[in-house]
Structure 1
Amino acid sequence: MKCVVIDDEPLALQLVQNYIGKTEGLELVAKFTDTVEAGDFLEKNPVDLLFLDVQMPDENGLQFFSRLENKPMVIFTTAYSQFAVEGFNLDAIDYLLKPFDYARFEKAVNKAKDFSLYRQNKENSEGFLFVKYNYQWTKIYYKDIELIEALDDYIKIYVEPKPILVHMSMKAVSEKLPESKFIRAHRSYIVPVDKIKSWNKNTINIGNKVIPISYTYQKQVTELLQKKLD
């Protein structure tokens, strides 16, 4: 993955550069101490991953990243923990609190690698999606999903050992899931095909639950499940 580091502290900049140099799969293509030069470079040179300090002299890293048109994956670095929530609201891969050691850096990079792999292999039968849960990106394998239920502005993803509640719309999660493996049966339910025990035109039986099939989705549900029988 091609990386850029932005930090106004020379020692911090050098530290991240050293960590990148010892990490397999990372290539440092540029480093900057101000956001103006960094912005000009990123406009012309797309990269995969950005290590970005939050506290910068002219413009903080959060503001800088939010205005980028083509946003790479980003890992924020800062000495101030109060920016963590805002960082994750910008879909940050991770948030490194200074001073951080190589083990913590490597953990953040592995998240970026996983997320990159997910985007490249969405249709993989052993695929997964990433959702923001407890202020971090959490990997959920398709095969572990029992059911997805809409709850106002949240979705409830049924996985073991307990369901997780994620601030996301059903439309957004539908776009992340392979159509061949998941069925939108109702405005409030998405069902994994391989967990279905039985079905008719009005209901789907999955585990110990009976999921209604709304009229809006009856045709596409029937067509997809019929294909599985052919």
Structure 2
Amino acid sequence: MLLRCVAVDDEPLALDIIKAYVGKTPTLTLVQTFDDAIAASEFLRITAIDLLFVDINMPDISGIDLVRALEKKPMVIFTTAYKNFAYEGFQLEAIDYLLKPIAFEFFAKAVNKAVDFLEYKNRSKPELEESLYVNSEYRLVKINLREIDYIESLEDYIKIHIAGSKPILTLLSMKKVLEKLPADKFKRIHRSFIVAIAKVVAIQNRKALLTSGKELPISDSYTSFIQDWIQASSK
């Protein structure tokens, strides 16, 4: 797989580093570089690319504003000299953020994420159901579906509880995450909970007991889950 990429940065040295790193990366081909965000925006409006490296802080328009204005958005890796990122950048679902001065090790990891994500999007449906991609802590995170115990709603956010690991918090609704999950493996059992059917070991007193020991309530609106669980358990 070869990704067509563009780099945008008002600092010549930063562009030279990106050029050098792209030259060392077999999965990338550099289409164009820009030190002017406005010129870059016009080029991207008429040219299809796969991946955009763009600095956040530029004199004319910010990298975040540039990406937000694009009608057809490529995958984006933001570069920045600052550790604090704007909330708007999180909403743009960037693949990654690279902190200047950029080390090749982190550049390569970010590119590998982009390659993985593009392969994920291009796969057939059965393979798509193996993983879930979400944005968390300003990065794209890949989650193996088999590791998910349950998902908890926190108003505008959801918390994805992972077996033996720290929960992942992401800006996503319960409705949207259900659309990304295979319906035969995950069910909503409460306005605040989605559960992995395979992780339910028992149902008692309208509560689902998980392999982790966690108990989740089953509300009146989702009692059909009990029959779904019985059928799944009997296969």
Same fold (TM over 0.5): yes
- The answer as to whether partners of 2:5 and 2:29 remain within 8 angstroms in 1 is yes
Q: Does 1:166 align with 2:170?
A: yes
Per-residue deviation, 1:126: 7.2
Using the TM superposition, give the Cα deviation of residue 219 of structure 1 relative to its aligned residue in structure 2, in angstroms: 4.3
- Residue matched to 1:9: 11
Question: RMSD of the alignment, in Å?
Answer: 2.8
Counterparts of 2:4 and 2:226, CA distance in 1:
42
> Is structure 2 residue 144 aligned with structure 1 residue 147?
no
Helix, strand or coil at the partner of 2:101: coil
Q: Structure 1 residue 182: deviation in Å?
A: 1.1
Name the count of aligned residue pairs: 230
Aligned residue in 1 for 2:221: 216
The answer to whether the aligner puts 1:128 opposite 2:131 as a matched pair is yes
| Structure 1 stretches lacking a partner, 5+ long | none
Specify the alignment match of 1:177 in structure 2.
181
Unmatched segments (≥5 aa) in structure 2? none
Q: CA contact under 8 A between 2:68 and 2:92: conserved in structure 1?
A: yes
Shift in Å, 1:47 = 1.7
Q: 1:140 to 1:16 in 2, by over 3 A?
A: same
Corresponding residue to 1:90 among 89, 92, 113 = 92
- Amino acid corresponding to residue 132 of structure 1 in structure 2: N
Match of 1:48 in 2: 50
> Is 1:81 aligned with 2:83?
yes
Assess if the C-alpha contact under 8 Å between 2:129 and 2:182 holds in 1: no
Task: Report the counterpart of residue 157 of structure 1 in structure 2.
Answer: 160
Q: Give the Å deviation of 1:19.
A: 0.9
Distance in structure 2 (CA, Å) of the matches to 1:40 and 1:151? 39
Q: For 2:166 and 2:55, locate their aligned partners in 1 and report how far apart those are by CA, in whole Å.
A: 35
* Alpha-carbon distance change, 25 to 15 in structure 1, aligned in 2, over 3 angstroms: same
2: CA distance between counterparts of 1:192 and 1:82? 35
2:197/2:229 contact within 8 Å kept: no
* 1:206 equivalent in structure 2: 210
The answer to whether the Cα contact below 8 Å between 1:156 and 1:164 also exists between their aligned partners in 2 is yes
Q: CA deviation at 1:174?
A: 1.5
Distance between the aligned counterparts of 2:226 and 2:116, measured in 1? 31
- 1:150 partner SS: strand
Report if the CA contact (8 A) 1:8-1:34 is conserved: yes
The corresponding residue for 1:190 is 194
User: In the alignment, which of 53, 60, 64 is matched to residue 66 of structure 2?
Assistant: 64
The alpha carbon displacement at 1:64 in A equals: 0.9
